[in-house]
Amino acid sequence: MKFYFPDSQDQVDPSFDFDTEERSRLRLRHREDLYAHELFQRPPFDGVLVSKAVLDAGRYSIAQKHRMLRVGVREFFRISDPNLLTMGDCGAFTYVREERPPFSVEEVVEYYQTMGFDFGMSVDHIIFGYEPSDHDIPEDWRFRHELTLSLAKQFLDQHRKTKSRFTPIGVAQGWSPSSYADAVEQLQAMGYDYIALGGMIGLKTPDILSCLKMVHPILQSGVRMHILGITRIESVQLFADFGVSSIDSTSPLRQAFKDMKDNYYAPDRTYTALRVPQVEANPQLVRNIKAGKINQQEARKLEQHCLACLKQFDRGTCGLEETLDSLLTYETLYDDRRTFANEYRDTLQDEPWKKCPCDVCGALGIHVILFRGAERNRRRGFHNLHVFYNKLQQRKAAAKGLFDLEAHEALSR
């Protein structure tokens, strides 16, 4: 199973100094900041997924957009490894509230071809909902289901007409196991040998597995299947058993700074990052300072004391209790509703960053687990990608070993 990482403009500045928290004044973000595949000796994913909607939504400047269209996806993202694949989609989440997708089939095919993608997904319209009984289905769900299939047929026809070089992927949208199975069956009849299941991000794992269980028997030999926006590492082997050959998600990255507690991946568990927000960047601290409830200079003093304790702890010159006390004392200034005392103690006791062999942890030390600013948080997210990808590879290797063993036993019999 291959893992694709969706582009979300996540880069890190190699000039950033973690002690002074300053960066080069001559920094040119796109030219000099590093993508995850550049930060590691070996990329922590098999490919990059880029959504047309993201490109068109203003996330990139006009100059960047024109350059991407001019030089193509591989040069723009500095992908020199021929084994690192590129995949394009339309980004259906961004136009979910519209009656129809804002792109024409001809426009999307031309976009994929111009950008030089290895794979390109058909135009789709996402269905937000799940009803396994297939009773009382909203008319809009049925409309989107049929529209997505109609657009997939037009997409494949246009791909053939223009003799485009990218591999076309037909997108299936559904609301139940039977509706997904119907879509997959129709896409195969059209001639697709690579199919993506969309709209599953909001589904619970058992519901996803129910859909895959119904799709699997009708999946023709040689047809690959992708699940959009899903990882679920605990279930990837089941996904593979049901015919899934690729997945994509930003979850490992986002958990680094979006999740309340599961911020740092270790091989067998997760840890809570140590929160040390900047005085001038934390909304609660700023409000309290403006209201006169907190003295700004005192807050800065506690912030710096906390950082100093953490650096000394990492070197072994400051004890756990003193370091924990500095974290919790500072915590009272910006969060009086809850405390992470137990989680912080757990993180400090285990020191997981010292056990991790990845390029990020080796370079940053304790900074990788500090919840503080984009430069640390993104690097922790990149670390999470590395751990997730390694887990995926290990599960693939274990599954292959079991398959080889079963094959050997069969031959022996």
The residue type at 96: V
Catalytic residue among 89, 124, 182, 314: 89
HEC states along 180-232?
A: HHHHHHHHHHHCCCEEEECCCCCCCHHHHHHHHHHHHHHCCCCCEEEECCCCC
Give SS3 for 64. Answer: helix
Is 89 catalytic? The answer is yes
* Interstrand relation of 264-266 and 269-271 (parallel, antiparallel or unpaired): antiparallel
Phi, psi of 196 (to 5 degrees): -110, 135
Burial of 299 (0-12, 13-18, 19+ CB in 10 A): buried
Tokens of 39: 């930060």
Provide the greatest CA pair distance for the chain. 81
Contact 156, 194 (CB under 8 A): no
Contact 90, 108 (CB under 8 A): yes
The number of CA neighbours under 13 Å toward the Cβ of 287 is 5
Contact 266, 387 (CB under 8 A): yes
Burial of 347 (0-12, 13-18, 19+ CB in 10 A): buried
Is 248 catalytic? The answer is yes
Cα distance between residue 386 and residue 264, in whole Å: 11
Catalytic residue among 33, 46, 124, 248: 248
Phi, psi of 57 (to 5 degrees): -90, 5
Q: How far apart are the first and last CA of the chain?
A: 30
> Which sequence positions are flagged as catalytic?
89, 248
